[in-house]
Amino acid sequence: MQKFRNIAVIAHVDHGKTTLVDELLQQSGTFSEHEKVQERAMDSNDLEKERGITILSKNTAINYKGTKINIIDTPGHADFGGEVERVLKMVDGALILVDAYEGVMPQTKFVVKKMLALGLKPIVVVNKIDKPSADPERVVDEVFDLFVQMDATDDQQDFPVVYTSAKNGISKMEMEDEDGNFESLFETILSEVPEPTGSVDNPTQLQVFTLDYDNYVGKIGIARVFNGTIEKGQNILLAKADGEQVKGKISKLIGFSGLARTEIDKAYAGDIVAIAGMETVDVGDSVVDPANPMPLDPMHIEEPTLSVVFAVNDSPLAGLEGKNVTSNKIQERLAKEVNTNIAMKFEQVGEGKFRVSGRGELQITILAENMRRENFEFSISRPEVIVKMIDGRKNEPFEHLVIDTPEEFSGTIIERLGKKKAEMVSMVPMGSGQQRIEFEIPARGLIGFRGQFLTDTKGEGIMNHSFLEYRPQLGGVETRMNGALISTESGDAVAYSLNTIQTRGILFVAPQTKIYPGMIIGEHARPNDLDVNPSKGKQLSNVRSSGADDAIKLVPHRNLSLEKALEWIEDDELLEITPTHIRIRKKQLNASLRKRQAKSGK
Ligand SMILES: Nc1nc2c(ncn2[C@@H]2O[C@H](COP(=O)(O)OP(=O)(O)OP(=O)(O)O)[C@@H](O)[C@H]2O)c(=O)[nH]1
Ligand SMILES: [Mg+2]
């Protein structure tokens, strides 16, 4: 019988999971000698490649000394933490990567907590030992403290440690050892991760943990075979979370090997496979034997904590840049998204308006970015946290925030976060004048904070946060400190007037940018909004003064990415998103109506 090991690779963002998987693929001999695994091969979709982050967890499988090792690479960004939680239920062990300098970070804590709760066998991998600033000993101590703090069992606290440089393909059991290849890591996986416990002789029992979609075969479920076998063409029952049981048939069975997916006829207990043929398949569903149905416990699906409103674009420039602009098109696209992305939800909240909820700003901006590329045009509103009633009281999401900053800025940061209702939980020196400060903060206080934080730390600070829990709602938090520079005119922005306006704040637009009344063209240096006319040209006189306009030297404008723009806007503002532009505007474009509304406190 084929032997299996099932592992997940978990860590804080950027600690090197995907790079480590590259090397596991390369060194297992899954590829022939001359075949080179592409850098971060598992980050296969466009946005993942561009941003260098993992968005979706993905499977691969390697063969090492006759054992098939199924590996799930998971995303490290906090917005995708719920997915990691589900993936962990499908494996028997986890490689917990920790950056040899950064050490334990918010998402390390999050994934370790989930992993320990499931009783998994951890292997701690201290990665990036090649970094000059690496301090592996301190990092192992931090991990040990974390395990103790999170009530790990004695057995879990006795975790094996492997030191690696994923980038250089090096692993070793002790820092003093000679650099070796990944053999130490492979051997540790084989000896420490338990074999799957199910049996091929039991009735069929699978559970789906991820969804995928293929234009030809339709919805695909990726599932672990816990017991029995599964065959192409087999009749099965799909046991849903609510107890309903739906008859179905496996139309296609797909196995993983290296980066390839291949059609197979049969799979056995212990393996991870993809199944097609059931349009109603969902995450958490069990696939069971109709004659002997034994469904597994449904899965906990993370609830969204943040929402924004996607709406039909109604700006004066609407319809000029995108192709998919109608309410119907947007609704269809959102429906398609939630069909496979179970961490997201949407509902219609008005004519051409849809509230989209997810786990964080990144998750939402990724959807928006994908839609732009598919020729959509729409607007989105400021993110709002989702309030939950618990015991008759309003509760709001809290985050665990870790700040790394040069010491000199810590005072400013602490004061700033105080106004956002953050509570400091620790402050430790990290060497070379760096400080690590940890906070617990209402998620609300973090919306729009990053831009301010980068200014406050002169770009040298690093902030990381991940979901903590729902807690009773606190009072108001401080919002954006600067007003907006709002255009009163339509047409094109002109260098001559931008030159004057730039003395009042920071511009977001360059000359020749199309503008309209109510569009925001910059950030005012003061707290109030300011109406400006960016299209005013120099009075033409008879004397030709050509070149005068060209001679104007504008300060480079601030180019706002989708994320930055979304962080920046306030409740009365919107982002207008088209395939070619991201504009910021007031919800109410008419200046006098806007002022009246502001006065009446609306
Ligand atoms: N110096 C050094 N850099 C590394 C090492 N491993 C990974 N990196 C770098 O760290 C960065 C992040 O690597 P990834 O493999 O994408 O990290 P990840 O954990 O998969 O990131 P997410 O999936 O987004 O959470 C890349 O620039 C890698 O080249 C290492 O051993 N040493
Ligand atoms: Mg990755």
Determine the residue type at 559.
Answer: N
Evaluate: CB of 167 within 6 angstroms of ligand 1. Answer: yes
Evaluate: CB of 75 within 6 angstroms of ligand 1. Answer: yes
End-to-end, the C-alpha distance of the chain in Å comes to: 69
What is the Å distance from ligand 1's center to 52 Cα? Answer: 9
Please tell me the least confidently modeled range out of 119-128, 233-242, 537-546: 537-546
Evaluate: CB of 165 within 6 angstroms of ligand 1. Answer: yes
The pLDDT value given to residue 291: 94
DSSP per-residue letters across 437-501:
EEEEEEHHHHTTHHHHHHHHTTT--EEEEEEEEEEE--------SS-EEEE---EE--HHHHHHH
pLDDT tier, 301 (very low <50, low <70, confident <90, very high otherwise): confident
Nearest ligand by distance to the CA of 77: 1
% of the chain with per-residue pLDDT over 70 = 97
Evaluate: CB of 12 within 6 angstroms of ligand 1. Answer: no
Whole-number Å distance between alpha carbons of 261 and 254:
6
pLDDT at 320 > cutoff 70: yes
pLDDT tens string 193-222: 999 999 999 999 999 999 988 888 889 999
Determine the residue type at 66.
Answer: G
Query: Which tokens is 478 given?
Result: 């401080």
The three-state secondary structure class of 183 is: helix
The pLDDT value given to residue 275: 96
Evaluate: CB of 52 within 6 angstroms of ligand 1. Answer: yes
Query: Which tokens is 23 given?
Result: 């090397």
CA atoms within a 13 Å half-sphere pointing along the CA-CB vector of 113: 16
353's enclosing H/E stretch is strand 353-358
Instruction: Specify the ligand 1 atom closest to the Cα of 42.
Output: 20
The whole-number average pLDDT for the span 100-128 is 93
The pLDDT value given to residue 360: 87
Nearest ligand by distance to the CA of 84: 1
The pLDDT value given to residue 83: 86
pLDDT tens string 466-476: 888 999 998 87
Query: Given phi > 0 = left and psi -120 to 50 = alpha, else beta, which region is 125?
Result: beta
- Look at ligand 1, atom 23, and give the residue with the nearest C-alpha: 54
The three-state secondary structure class of 505 is: strand
The whole-number average pLDDT for the span 57-84 is 92
Whole-number Å distance between alpha carbons of 263 and 277:
13
Evaluate: CB of 13 within 6 angstroms of ligand 1. Answer: yes
Instruction: Specify the ligand 1 atom closest to the Cα of 54.
Output: 23
What is the Å distance from ligand 1's center to 17 Cα? Answer: 6
pLDDT tier, 250 (very low <50, low <70, confident <90, very high otherwise): very high
Nearest ligand by distance to the CA of 17: 1
Burial of 150 (0-12, 13-18, 19+ CB in 10 A): middle
Q: What is the CA radius of gyration of the chain?
A: 27
Evaluate: CB of 16 within 6 angstroms of ligand 1. Answer: yes
Evaluate: CB of 101 within 6 angstroms of ligand 1. Answer: no
DSSP per-residue letters across 393-439:
EEEEEEEEEEEEEEGGGHHHHHHHHHTTT-EEEEEEEEETTEEEEEE
Nearest ligand by distance to the CA of 52: 1
The whole-number average pLDDT for the span 107-127 is 93
71's enclosing H/E stretch is strand 67-73
Identify which of 19, 135, 462 to mutate to test ligand 1's pocket (most ligand atoms within 8 A of the CB).
19
pLDDT at 8 > cutoff 80: yes
What is the Å distance from ligand 1's center to 274 Cα? Answer: 28
Determine the residue type at 531.
Answer: D
What is the Å distance from ligand 2's center to 87 Cα? Answer: 14
The pLDDT value given to residue 371: 97
Whole-number Å distance between alpha carbons of 602 and 597:
5
**Greater pLDDT, 241 or 443:** 443
Instruction: Specify the ligand 1 atom closest to the Cα of 39.
Output: 29
The pLDDT value given to residue 602: 53
Whole-number Å distance between alpha carbons of 307 and 309:
7
What is the Å distance from ligand 2's center to 478 Cα? Answer: 34
11's enclosing H/E stretch is strand 3-11
What is the Å distance from ligand 2's center to 47 Cα? Answer: 12
**Greater pLDDT, 453 or 479:** 453
- Look at ligand 1, atom 10, and give the residue with the nearest C-alpha: 16
Instruction: Specify the ligand 1 atom closest to the Cα of 76.
Output: 25
Strand partners, 185: none
Q: What are phi and psi of 425, to 5 degrees?
A: -110, -25
**Greater pLDDT, 448 or 572:** 572
pLDDT at 406 > cutoff 60: yes
The pLDDT value given to residue 539: 60
The pLDDT value given to residue 11: 96
Evaluate: CB of 127 within 6 angstroms of ligand 1. Answer: yes
Evaluate: CB of 14 within 6 angstroms of ligand 1. Answer: yes
The pLDDT value given to residue 302: 77
For 182-324, strand residue ranges (E) read 205-214, 218-227, 229-231, 235-239, 245-249, 252-257, 260-263, 266-268, 272-276, 286-288, 306-311
* The residue to which tokens 């943040």 are assigned: 306
Q: What are phi and psi of 67, to 5 degrees?
A: -105, 135
The pLDDT value given to residue 341: 86
Evaluate: CB of 53 within 6 angstroms of ligand 1. Answer: yes
Instruction: Specify the ligand 1 atom closest to the Cα of 75.
Output: 23
Evaluate: CB of 11 within 6 angstroms of ligand 1. Answer: yes
Evaluate: CB of 171 within 6 angstroms of ligand 1. Answer: no
Whole-number Å distance between alpha carbons of 50 and 38:
14
The pLDDT value given to residue 213: 84
Question: What is the DSSP pairing of strand 161-165 with strand 121-127?
Answer: parallel
pLDDT tier, 34 (very low <50, low <70, confident <90, very high otherwise): low
Instruction: Specify the ligand 1 atom closest to the Cα of 166.
Output: 31
What is the Å distance from ligand 2's center to 70 Cα? Answer: 16
Mean pLDDT in the chain? Answer: 91
What is the Å distance from ligand 2's center to 494 Cα? Answer: 44
pLDDT at 550 > cutoff 60: no
Helical pair 81-88 and 106-117, crossing angle rounded to 10 deg:
30
